Structures are given as C-alpha cells and as structure tokens.
Copies of this chain bind each other. A is one copy, B any other.
Amino acid sequence: MTGAAHTAGRIQVRVQSDPFDVGHETARLLGLEDGTGGISSFMGIVRGGNGLVALELEHYPGMCEDALTVLAEEAFSRFALIGCTVIHRVGRLLVGEPIVLVLAAAAHRAAALDATHFLIDRLKTGAPFWKAEEFTDGQRLWVESRSEDEAAAAGW
C-alpha cells in the first residue's frame, strides 16, 4: 500500500483565500472512524496592535501544497494519527480574521495535542508563505522570520 493510498481521505491540505469552518472540519475528522478518542486543533488569527490593519499573505502555489502535504504526512506517521487537516489562507486578511487551521485526530489525547503543536511550529518556517503587514499610517512592511519560530520548528 502506498503512502497516498494509506492516507486517502485522512490527510487534507488546502491553501485558499476563503474562510474555513472549524465546525465542519472537526465533524469531518470525527466521522473518520470509531477509534478516535480526541481531536485537537489550533487556529492562528491576525493579531491586532501597534496600528496593524491587515496582513497580506503571499505564497508559492504548488510548492506550498507540496510542503504542507509532506509536513502533514510526517505528523500522521510520527504521532500515529487517525486524521489530520491543514488549511492556510492567502490574500489580504484583516485583524481578527483566522489565517491558519490545524487539526489532528488520534486514539489518545497526548498524540492529538502533540501533533497539533508540531504542525503549527513546523508550518511557520517550513512552507513557502510570506506576510506583509499593513498599518493605519499606510506603511507596509514584510514580516521578518523570527528566530524563536525557527528554534521552535527545529525543536521537533
């Protein structure tokens, strides 16, 4: 059985400008099988402050999906997941809008929680997305990668 067949329907990766629906994504994982004991999730949000108005999310189409799929497959086998989902939005997102959603379903809670933490840490510096910040005064600045994010990703 190939990796792709083994994980068919169990790993979902999407890059989209549209909003996502946490309830819908949770229900989908819940329906995969009876052996699921827990579903963990993390949702990243455009955090306000210092006059930030919006983020502009740029990505490398194709490579982005590939990188997220490799990452999701790594989490799937490393944490013996039953299912996992990674959705990342692109385009202009206002303060308060969700950017990213990661979900992991597993037999036991520790695996689901650890997989979620792993996925969001690695996704920060391991998939080709770039953020530009737009401020109330009209300034526009590319976000520099943070050394603590690179350290968190390397910690796994």
Contact = CB atoms under 8 A, between A and B. Distances in A.
A35 to B, nearest CB: 6
A interface secondary structure, majority? mixed
Given A23-B21, A120-B109, A45 B38 contact: yes
Contacts of A22: 22-23, 26
A152 to B, nearest CB: 8
B47 A35 contact: yes
A98 B116 CA distance: 19
A42 B117 contact: no
Interface of A: 21-24, 26, 30, 34-45, 47-49, 95-96, 98, 107, 109-110, 112-113, 116-117, 120, 152
